[in-house]
Amino acid sequence: MFMNMFMMITFINRSKELSFLEERYRSPRAELIVVYGRRRVGKTFLLRRFLSGKRGVYFVVSRLGNTLQELSEAIGEQLDVHPPLLRRYSDLFSYIVKESGGERIIFVIDEFQRLAEYDPPSSQNYRWLGMSFSATPRFSSC
């Protein structure tokens, strides 16, 4: 009970962080926001709350499977699109930029730091993230 109450209080006290995310979301530019901190302080809950009611994808990097394929499936399910089978992250995000039709899309990649551990080829291709942001002003990620 105490832990749940603490997490609830922690989130309630996160109105400043939520306001910051909302402000960045309204920005006319593409934004890359890194949210970090100690474990179990409500980062995931904050990001899910921010994403609520907005067009976006929430993806957790897992240890199992092919991360690129899993991300592609999550994008397909959550955005109701059908990305083709792609071999590179940059191709996947280029596809999404085209499919967005200029509409803002939020990508939350939880446990992003694990990509290098669980999917070593992805760590060699982090450029895909920067390329995606420069491709469109309506692409946001947390």
13, part of any domain: no
In a domain, 137, yes or no: yes
CA end-to-end span of the chain = 30
Residue 133 lies in a domain: yes
In a domain, 86, yes or no: yes
Helix ranges restricted to H, the chain: 2-12, 15-26, 43-51, 67-79, 89-99, 115-118, 120-124, 127-135
Residue 6 banded pLDDT, cuts 50, 70, 90:
very low
Task: Tell me the average pLDDT across 23-32.
Answer: 88
Query: What type of residue sits at position 141?
Result: S
Better pLDDT: 34 or 128: 34
DSSP secondary structure letter of residue 113: G
Question: Tokens 């832990």 belong to which residue?
Answer: 3
pLDDT band per the 50, 70, 90 thresholds, residue 2: very low
The pLDDT score that the predictor gives to residue 54 is 95
Q: What are the pLDDT digits (tens) for 58-81?
A: 999 887 778 889 999 999 999 999
**Residue 107: beta bridge partners?**
57, 141
Residue 17 lies in a domain: no
Q: In terms of residue numbers, what domain contains 135? A: 32-141
- Tell me the one-letter amino acid at 83: P
What is the number of domains present in the chain? 1
| Rounded Cα gap, residues 72 and 128, in angstroms | 14
Q: What is the pTM of this model?
A: 0.74
pLDDT tens for 73-102 read 999 999 999 988 888 888 888 888 888 888
What is the pLDDT, as a whole number, of residue 97? 83
Mean pLDDT of the chain: 78
